Structure 1
Amino acid sequence: MASPDLPIWVWNLIIAIQRHEELHGRTDTCLGGVLFAVPDEIRSQAEAIGTYIQKAHGNELADKAAKTWDDLMAAFFPKPADESGEAAD
């Protein structure tokens, strides 16, 4: 099934409500009626989008952390000139 042409704020709202439900459990029924009004196929697509965004954000953080770690190691333990291909200062 193709994704319906919904504005981004609608997707964000559905994802936020789903995330609220995940964090507070299904016993917190404050937003249950709102989420129940969203068709099942839209909820499942929003869940997939939310999972993708969360993973992409996690990968971005991991990439930044790895680069920071590499930069720190390079600052404290510079490679000898023959390993890095550059002349030592």
Structure 2
Amino acid sequence: PLPSPRAAGEGPGVEIEEQDVPLFEALRAHRAALAKEKALPAYIIAHDRTLREIARIRPTSLDDLALARGMGQAKISSYGEGILRVVREFSGP
């Protein structure tokens, strides 16, 4: 596993495997686009730690997405479908 960089206040980092890095980067790009569109700081949408965890678990449903730390019902309602779309692009049919 690659060591994960940690942002202040994120707590212990989540390690991801090398094969998950492209998905993590795609999730970060998706988050950046959302942040710009909504005029919010990116960390309000999701911390890097949360995106690393999503890249690691590769959720296939909103229920699976709830397993990622930092993804509560409000964030799932607002951003869940878009996040799952990014994950599907990397996971195939």
Which structure features the higher share of helix residues? 1
TM-score norm. by structure 2 comes to 0.30
